[in-house]
Amino acid sequence: MERADTERTIRVLVAKAGLDGHDRGAKVVARALRDAGMEVIYTGIRQTPAMIAEAAVQEDVDAVGLSLLSGAHMHIFPEVLRLLREKGGDDILLTGGGCIGDEDMAALAALGVGRLFGPGASTREIVAYIRAEVASRRAPT
């Protein structure tokens, strides 16, 4: 049956950027999004910005969730955002989490990166944010 655009299953790419292999956080978020009824494309660890952006395009996701613990967030988030835009994915929400200071968060938000979640964030908060943000982006303007 045909469904309204706003009811389509939300697809999210979850990736672990950077060189460390600590993917527990990414896996917990992936499960939480799945349990919230979303389709999660999990790409695993050591993903470069180019791999993340290209996979997001091939999978036609609504959002990309990046887990980043290595401290390279001021490089990786802007780079993923730039590549997404270059590949025609400007409508894809880029969000994520990790150990990111308030100042950096503000700077990334100014570039167009979505909300970023710190170590204390609950998965419920993340689910609610992605749902609301995707719905507003899908709504006809």
Partner 1 sequence: MLGTDLDRIIAAFTAGDRRAASRLISVVENGGAEAEAVLEALYPALNGAPRLGVTGPPGVGKSTLVDALVRGERRAGRRVGVVAVDPTSPFTGGAVLGDRVRMGDLTLDSGVFIRSMATRGRLGGLARATKEVADVLEAFGHDVLVIETVGVGQTEMDIATAADTVVVVLSPESGDAIQAMKAGLMEVADILVVNKADRPGADQLVRTLEADLAMRPAAVWRPPVLATIASQGEGIADLAAAVGRHHQSLQRSGDLATRRLERARGEIMAILRDRLWQRARGQLAADVSAWSERVVAGRATPYAAARALLAAFLESVEDKA
Write out the residues near partner 1 by the rule CB under 8 A: 1-3, 5, 8-9, 30-31, 33-44, 46-47, 50-51, 54-55, 57-60, 87-89
Q: How far is CA 10 from CA 40, 52, 66, 73, in A?
A: 8, 18, 16, 25
Rg of the Cα atoms in the chain? 14
Q: What single-letter amino acid sits at 57?
A: V
Please, which residue, 88 or 120, has the CB nearer to partner 1? 88
Distance separating alpha carbons of residues 30 and 38, to the nearest angstrom: 9
Task: Read off the DSSP letter of residue 32.
Answer: H
| Least distance (Å) between residue 1 CB and partner 1 | 7
Task: Read off the DSSP letter of residue 72.
Answer: -
Please, which residue, 35 or 125, has the CB nearer to partner 1? 35
Please, which residue, 57 or 121, has the CB nearer to partner 1? 57
Q: What single-letter amino acid sits at 42?
A: Y
| Least distance (Å) between residue 31 CB and partner 1 | 7
Q: How far is CA 22 from CA 34, 114, 115, in A?
A: 20, 22, 21
Distance separating alpha carbons of residues 77 and 111, to the nearest angstrom: 9
| Least distance (Å) between residue 115 CB and partner 1 | 21
| Least distance (Å) between residue 107 CB and partner 1 | 28
| Least distance (Å) between residue 119 CB and partner 1 | 22
